[in-house]
Structure formats: structure tokens, C-alpha cells
Amino acid sequence: MGDFRLIQHLSYPENNSINDFIDKDHCSVQYSSVDEAACLINRHKTFARLSQCDVKAAFRLLPIAPHDFDLLGIKFQGEYYLNKMLPMGASISCALWEKFAKALHWIIQLKSGNDDILHYLDDFLFVESSQTSKVGNTLKLFQEVCNKIGIPLASDKTTLPTTLLMFLGIEFDTQNLIMRLPNEKLVKLSQKIRDTLDSSKITLKDMQSLLGLLNFACKVVAPGRTFCRRLINSTIGVRKSYYKIRVNKQMKADLEVWLDFLKQYKWCNCNNRQLGEVQKPSSRSRPVANQNSNTDLEHLSQVADYIVNQGVSKNTQKSYNLALSKLCTFRSSYKLKQDWPVPVNDLLNFIAFLSVQGLSGGTISSYISGVSYHHKIQGIQDTTKFFIIGKALEGIKRIQGGKRNDIRAPITVQLLSDMISCLDKVCKNKYEAALFSAVFSVAFFGLLRVGEITTTSKSKSVINGSNLTISDILVRRKVLELRFQKANKLKVFTGPKILWIVGSSLVHWANVEAKKYGRNNLGLGSKGVTTYWIGQPGLQIKEIWTPYWTQKEKFLPSPHFIIIHCGANDLTDLELTGKGLMENVKCSILRYKALFKNVIIIWSSMLQRRYWHFAPLNAGAIIEQKRKRVNSVVKNFVIENGGKAILHENIRASEVSLYRTDGTHLSQTGNQVFLNNIQGGLSLSYAQQNQLFQ
């Protein structure tokens, strides 16, 4: 019997669990794949030797910060227990472990000089060539490093260099260059297919289980993907795991083909090369010996799926899926069969059902169009095109007549009071009731839209955001002030404003480009904004306050906004630490705020460069890390002090067309992108500034 494993259910209760309050962006992670393992093996062909090692109790190696202990407590048999190590049930656990595993991966790769290493969570795969005398050295080094830094390994899962190894559930045979499914998975899949063939209906849960096995088998059996399409289509719009799905003749025919694959390929035969030869994906023509390989068919199936999906916009797809969901809910409510094509009588009753619910003729027609689409995409008869269905839709429109009156009534003070008084009865706790009471009151008296005071994002406010955050709220004795990053036109005051754009050569050349196209005021001239460009090639942060700049600033009117784009020239000074540069930038920002009352500082993030001049050739990675670190700290500092930040995330060093040949300055296209970022950020910041001080 294996070890017991405690998994804490951190997704409970729904919508109020620990996992609900963890940013989903921080939980995303990309794992190694079977294809990557195949590519590594392909480098060494039949000389490849595979070894494997697992980290024992991986998540339990990473400690939890003490101030988070209270979030991971459990009570069992009257005793309280705290999880002090990374739990299995946290949505962020895999992403955090992956960072640790990548660091370990990098250490082994650097010390061994072997690039052919792969890891999937705690499972490490090492590929070496038998043509060298160093076979097994990478595994040995991995064990030594783990032992040195205290990482326990599962000795029972360690595999010494071999030509036959199981990785990610696939058996790799480097001697014959094939990969195949293990026998137990073949038996399980065969039995699952036979059970489905013997049934007229199966639940959504069973269908998804079958599709999971088939999809896994497709990693080895390329043509199998083609015979999964009808099965996948049958699950569209079915939401509940216990809903029944009819297994029609076409679906059973596809499953029969899968059984033929089982018999034809003899998957237990280690010498069978038809299962899935280990090949590196390539756009070049295949050798003659491989001209019948099914990998091309798999690729074409993927391309076909992509082409079909691109034929419908995302919004239209959402509309079609909503229509299917409505139809499935209707049929479930009235205990009708979930048959396809949808019987005409079901469609007529569905139309009547929507009409009784008060939906307009246009909305009902859009739902029927969605049902029609799902008929066509499955290649079955479209019953929505029957004459009687068309007449029913026409009848709905005739009955409803012209434009329908809006029956919604405005919220009055009395209605607001009644809504707030009901909150204690519908909310889970006092905090939730107080929260909704505050939202209702602020929205009512501030004439605000819901989208202006609610958000689904948990990230800090930056200039390209559009939601109200804690930093935008100022509570006074009798006044509540709200700063809006994005406001409608009625909220914007159009008084005269002065803008300074201060910076290095990037500011200078952006000004030159702006003058060519009449963009010197960045589209804000009509709003009374006058822009002054102060760009100095080679400028460093400390030089903003030299006598030269002080003298020049005497002739400029005091600004309401200052955009600072500087600091990149300081990055190449390797003696100046990132912390030192941060302090210099903060000092300059505080001086500006002390000199000009109520000025809003806007930090324009330092851009990536293709080449860092006056720096050692091997210092690029160090400089890039320093750039990111300084940008992040300064952005947060500016925001905390009432300012904003423009991130320029669309200007990347990988985009060659955005840079001149020197790899430092922006090209004409790059300057236009830079100006667009500045202009877009200013439009939002200007609206917020005027709302705050009007």
C-alpha cells in the first residue's frame, strides 16, 4: 500500500474559498509534453539512453509564510492543525513548485552541460548518448545536487540509463525509435469503448472520461484524433455531469474504428513501428520511407479545426453556445430527450417557452440561429429550416408588433432604501451586506455605472486600467472623493492644462516624429492641454536637476502632468546597483512633486533594447533583470504617491521592426507605437486628474 496523502479542499466554499482569492494569472503553468520528450530522443536516434528520477513529496518541500498559516488551518477530532508546507489543494501550488523545479533543472543543466533534460513537475527525464563515456553522469549529478541541498528522492522510481522507459504515461523505446501505450492503458481503453458501444446513452461524465483516454492515446496513434470529433461535438452545451448523451450510429462507427486500431496495430509488440515513430515536427517533405505516416493527417486535423473555429468570431460563438445552453436547459426541465437533430416539435415548444419568458422576437431568432449553427457544424439535418419554424418566428414578431416599451423603472431614493433593507436577508454575512449597501449608495448618488466601481481584476492600478481601486478612494470628514481612471465625457472638465514630457533621446526622437504628423499635443489640444517636450540625448536620472535643466525650466509654465521617461542610460553602469538607481529615480520624482503643487507624475517604463551600448557583451541578461526590477519598484512607488504608469508592454526587443539598426533607438514605426502608448495613457490620466480637481 502506498503512502497516505492529505489533500485540503481549498476550493470550498464556492466563490468564497482560498482558491477564489488567488489570482488566476499566477496559477497558470505550462508543463513539458510527450512531443518534447520525442524531440530530445530524436537528437540521438537509436543511441539515446534514458534515465529518470522523481523528487519525493515535492510540494512538502516548500514552506508557507507564517502570516498565511491561518488560511490553511483544519479542525479534526477537536484538534486544530496548520499546514506549514505547500498544500496539494491550492490552485497556485503547481505554479510555485514549477518555479522551484525550473531552478533545479537549470542548475543540473548548467553543471552537467547536458541540454537534453526534461521535467514534468517532480519527474525528471535525462537523455544521453551511448556514444560517449558519460552515460549516467547527469543522473548521478542530479542525485548528488539533491542530496547536497536536502531534496529527498524516490529511490523506487529512479531508473538507470536504459533504452526502454515510461515517461508521462508513454513507453519510449529508443532502440526501435517508437513510443507506445502501456498494456494496462490499452486494456482500460478497450473495455471503455466496448461499454460505450453496448449503451444507447451515457452520462456526460462517462463521455468525458472516454474522451480523456482517447485523447491521451492520440499522442501515439495520430489518425485517432479524426475519429474523436463526433464524440466531442456530442458534449457541446451539456453542462451537468449527470446529463445523458445519446450514442448515435455515427459515434458508434467511430468507436468501431478505434477497436480496429487496437487489433491492427498490436500495441503490445515492442517492434511495431506503426504506433508512432519518434519524429521531430518539420515543415519539410518526409523521406519516402515515411510517406504513409499518419502524423501529417494529425496536423491537417489540427489545421482544419483551427480554420473552422476562425470562421466564427468569439462573440458569435458565445451567442451560439448560449442558445445551445438555453435549449438543453429547456429540454431537461420538461424531461425531453437530448436528441440531435432536434425534433421540430421540441423547437416549436422551445420558441413558445422563450416567448412566454418575455424575450423579444429578435432574441428568439438569434437563439434559433445558434441551434441551426450547431446542426450544421455536426453535419446533420438542420430542422430549424423547416417551414413551420420560420412561420413561428414570423408569428412572434407580428404578435409583439413594433418596438417594445422599456418597462424598467428608474431607482428612486425609496427604492434604494428598500433594496438596502433587504440585504441582511439575502447576503451571507454582515460584511457582504455592508459592501453591497456601499456600492448601491455610491452608484446612486454618484450617477455611476456598475462597470465603473466593480472589477474582476486583483492587480494594482496602472494607467491602462479602467476600474476603481482602493488607491482611487479618498475619505474626508464629510466628503468621499473618487478618482476614475476612465470616465465618460460628462465627467471630464476641459480647463487648460500643462504637460511636460521629460526624458532621454527617446523623448527627443518621439517629439521629432510627433511634429511630422501634427501630433505634438498628442491629440489633447482640443481639451486645452499644452505639451512641452524636454528630451536630451544621453540623459541620465541625476542630470535632470543640473543647472542646464534648471535654467531651461525657468521659461516653462508649471505643469499639471509630468511624464518621466529616463533611466535606461543608467542601466549600463554596472557599478550602479538596481537599488541605487531606484533611489535616484524616487528622489527625482519627489523633487518634482515638492516643486510643483498637485502635479501628477506619470512614469513611462524603461524600454527593452536589442543592444546595450557601453556595456559588456555578456551583460545583457543582467541589465534586463535590473530594468524589470527598477520598472516594477518605481511603478508601484509612483502609484502609491498618486501617480500613474505607462508600461509599454507592446514594445519588445524581439520585434525587430520597432528598432533602428543600432538596436537602441526606436524606428519610425516604433516611435509611432511609443506615441500611441503615451497618448492613450494621457487620455485616461487627464480625465482622472480633472475629475479630481474640478
Residue 268 has pLDDT above 70, yes or no: no
Burial class, 241, CB count within 10 angstroms (exposed 0-12 / middle 13-18 / buried 19+) = exposed
CA distances from 647 to 139, 621, 675, 676 (A): 43, 20, 13, 12
Q: What is the pLDDT of residues 477-531, one digit of tens each?
A: 666 777 666 555 444 444 568 888 888 889 989 999 888 878 788 877 777 788 8
Residue 178 has pLDDT above 50, yes or no: yes
For the ranges 106-110, 226-230, 463-467, 594-598, the lowest mean pLDDT is seen at 463-467
| Helix (H), strand (E) at residue 453 | helix 450-453
Matching residue, cell 468621499:
480
The span from the CA of 275 to the CA of 221, in Å, is 6
Helix locations, 530-606, DSSP H: 547-553, 568-571, 578-595
CA distances from 656 to 12, 561, 606, 621, 667 (A): 48, 32, 17, 18, 9
Residue 462 has pLDDT above 50, yes or no: no
What integer pLDDT is reported at residue 283 of this predicted model? 37
The domain defined by 312-400 folds into DNA polymerase; domain 1 (1.10.150)
Write down the CATH number for the domain with range 489-693.
3.40.50.1110
What cell numbers appear for 374 in the block? 450547431
Q: How confident is the model at residue 269 (pLDDT cuts 50, 70, 90)?
A: very low
Residue 393 has pLDDT above 80, yes or no: yes
| Helix (H), strand (E) at residue 190 | helix 183-197
What cell numbers appear for 71 in the block? 488560511
For residues 460-471, one letter each, b for 16 or more C-beta atoms within 10 angstroms of the residue's C-beta and e for the rest, the string is ebbbbbebbbee
Task: Say if 312-400 and 489-693 have the same CATH topology.
Answer: no
Q: How confident is the model at residue 303 (pLDDT cuts 50, 70, 90)?
A: low
Q: How confident is the model at residue 688 (pLDDT cuts 50, 70, 90)?
A: low
- E strand segments, 566-679: 600-604, 644-646
* Half-sphere exposure for 571 (CA within 13 Å, toward CB): 26
Mean of the per-residue pLDDT values of the chain: 80
Q: What is the pLDDT of residues 464-488, one digit of tens each?
A: 345 566 667 777 666 677 766 655 5
The structural domains of the chain, with segments of one domain joined by +, span: 19-173, 178-281+291-309, 312-400, 417-482, 489-693
Tallying the residues shown for the chain, one arrives at 694
**Helices 137-149 and 93-112: angle between axes, nearest 10 degrees:** 120
Q: How confident is the model at residue 104 (pLDDT cuts 50, 70, 90)?
A: very high
What cell numbers appear for 399 in the block? 404578435
Q: Mean pLDDT throughout 85-111?
A: 90
Write down the CATH number for the domain with range 178-281+291-309.
3.30.70
**Helices 204-217 and 183-197: angle between axes, nearest 10 degrees:** 140
Matching residue, cell 496536423:
299
* Helix-then-strand count for the chain, H and E: 22, 18
474 DSSP β-pair partners: 481
Q: What is the pLDDT of residues 606-658, one digit of tens each?
A: 999 988 877 777 788 888 889 999 999 999 888 888 888 998 888 988 888 88
Greater model confidence, 96 or 278: 96
The span from the CA of 653 to the CA of 125, in Å, is 33
What integer pLDDT is reported at residue 409 of this predicted model? 66
What cell numbers appear for 54 in the block? 522523481
Write down the CATH number for the domain with range 19-173.
3.30.70.270
What integer pLDDT is reported at residue 107 of this predicted model? 92
Q: Mean pLDDT throughout 404-411?
A: 64
Q: Max CA-CA distance within the chain?
A: 89
The whole-model pTM stands at 0.41
What cell numbers appear for 509 in the block? 526622437
The span from the CA of 625 to the CA of 569, in Å, is 15
Q: How confident is the model at residue 60 (pLDDT cuts 50, 70, 90)?
A: confident
Q: Which amino acid is at 472?
A: D
